[in-house]
A and B are shown apart, each in its own frame.
Chain A
Amino acid sequence: MNSVAIQPSSQKKFDLQRLLEPYLYLSPALITIALVIITPTLVGISYAFQSIELLNPFNSGWVGLAHFKALFSDRYFFSALGNTLDWTLISLFFQFSLGLGLALLLNRKFAGRKLIQALVFLPWAVPTFLSGLTWAWLFNPIIGILPHWMASLGMLSEPYNILSDPQLAMYGPIVANVWFGIPFFAITLLAALQSVPNDLYEAAGIDGASDWQVFVKITLPFLAPMIAITVMLRTIWIANFADLIIVMTSGGPANSTQTLPSYIFTTAYRRLDFGYASAMAVILLILLLLYTAILLKMRSKLSNGE
């Protein structure tokens, strides 16, 4: 057969084409991310070891670990760290539990469900700076109603702006964050709830399980993977989330609401000290990577132990 001689190279070309096909589809995404995210990140990490103050351009060059040393004696840094923990954990707890509650409520058919579902998810669509501003207003006793309600409920001795109280200020952005974040959990958990096969509920009903038992023994295990992913993702997003704090309190009063990301932003944007800001960002990244690693380890331990 004549074609025998041509075969090897055309076969090779064909095989190569098939091998490269997936990468072709991936390339736009990969190139964009490599250029716009990965490269600056690596550059950003390198800044942590340099002195880059845009206001002080003569003071530049490699400074090794100087920034990190400075961090250790920066009490603002440590208070920011503590605030970040509060901010993240409290926001997460309320967002998750209220989101789960909403998902459970929406999982039943009832009149007007479609409309109500659309409305109740709306907070996610509101630009965060806007919700920050609105909630700042709501907490202001002159133009907002919340302090008055809180006072009449006995939560405050008299109506005043909690955003100016170092003890309570953090709760302002937290409430705004919870408001904003409930739809995220509600949407993802609702999706997970809807994928639970109906047969399981029917079988449980025949077996005589109570509502609580059904929830704990059937619903929760099914939701577990989705819960794990969403909690992990959301924790990271919240920890990185500075918008609300910047808009509502700018980190004040007296730095009581300054979290790491907002402190980093202020250092970069206002003081234009990129080196120091990057050093803090590196620490934040390391903490988050540690957190993810621990969670993944826990998850594999749990699924191995089953």
Chain B
Amino acid sequence: MLLRIEHVSVRFGGIVAVNDSNFTVKENEITCLIGPNGAGKTTLFNLITGFLTPTTGSIHFRDQNITGMKPEKIVRLGIARTFQNLRLFNDMTVLENMLLAVPGKYNQSILRPLFLRPRLKKIEAGNIERALETLEYVGLGGKAGEIVDNLSYAEQKLLTIGRLLMTEADVLLLDEPASGLDKNSLDRIMPLVQDLKRQNKTILLIEHNMDIIRSIADQVVFLNQGQVLGVGTAEEIMSNPALTEIYFGGGAHHGEGA
């Protein structure tokens, strides 16, 4: 078990956003987190990546207890995420966005830029080369100098994945990668997500699109009102009448996510 979420709950004031949730994520698999809106999926992402601390319960990564660790530390341990609202640096270029994700000992050094500048430039050149290769891989070759604001929405989504790859994290949490994309764009992104698995990454993604889920998910975790109601393959979950009732009955969105 690569990632274990054990009895995790989080409470805001009077509201319990996540309630005693348990599930595990296996290495080199694609796990999909599904459930109606407001079920707590993004909250779970926030908990796993350290942006929220659980009120009870614990989270373990490679047998290390990462509960309550700072987000930046968790990224360096190997878990990185995207955001539903992308959070790209819109005023900066594609290349700069990529470079900001590089795990570098000298990213915050103030002495090296002054006294060891040539050495720093060499490292930077190496990072730039890797960034350009990665951009090529995600399908943004040639866009390195473009200001993010000028990219199309689909291209911005590809960039979020490119940034994740630059972090060298093994576990990638994707928050609704398919939402807001048309069929053509989906055809650019979804094969990429599947290829990531072939690259030995472990993927946890939040998704609404049932076709996508059926085609790529190794495991599905069904969440409702902060609780894990079922874990299994896509077929198992979708053939459970109680769960489908909640999912399709209570005004949830399905098909193309919004």
**Chains A and B form a bound pair:** no
**A→B interface (CB under 8 Å):** none
